[in-house]
Amino acid sequence: MEKIRFGIVGTNFITDWVIAGAREDERFELAAVYSRTQERADEFAAKYQIPHTFTSLEEMAKSPLIDAVYIASPNFLHASQSILCMKHGKHVLCEKPLASNAREAREMVEASKQYGVTLMEAMKPTLTPNFLALREALPKVGTVRRYFSAYCQYSSR
């Protein structure tokens, strides 16, 4: 079975959760971590037995050691970091929100097409029971003409 070698961008608590879940899939391989400081990169690498560390995102994006990146940096960096990684042929799983605005999202989608890589937003709602029930009910509903949704939550902090 072919493994997907991931690099991690962002060393916060959300990354801990994603790593725990991703390790449930035997195709996932945690190969590298990027942090702005070597100290934090080394600390995170030791915590998860990550073999490679980077303090330059461009160097990690260029590296043949990874196939894909998980981006969990501050939201305002999502678009620029995703596009940089896609430019170097890396698939991107980007934490929500995908981008700060529609223009950035369009640029990210365009980069994905231009460089022939996958871009995904790390959203789980489409895998929850209520969405699965909705999918099953859609044939009974007919043509959907309008959809409105609101998702609100207090901060997890």
Amino acid, single-letter form, for residue 41: A
Question: Could you write out the DSSP letters of every residue in the chain?
Answer: ---EEEEEE--SHHHHHHHHHHTTSTTEEEEEEE-SSHHHHHHHHHHHT-SEEES-HHHHHH-TT-SEEEE-S-GGGHHHHHHHHHHTT-EEEEESSS-SSHHHHHHHHHHHHHHT--EEEE--GGGSHHHHHHHHHHHHH-S--------------
Of 102, 105, 110, 106, the C-alpha closest to 86 is 110
Taking only the tens place, the pLDDT of each residue in 21-76 is 999 999 999 999 999 999 999 999 999 999 999 999 999 999 999 999 999 999 99
Higher pLDDT, 148 or 72: 72
Higher pLDDT, 104 or 150: 104
Give me the residue spans of the domains in the chain: 4-141
Domain 4-141 has what CATH class? alpha beta
CB 52 within 8 A of CB 79: no
Taking only the tens place, the pLDDT of each residue in 86-131 is 999 999 999 999 999 999 999 999 999 999 999 999 876 667 788 8
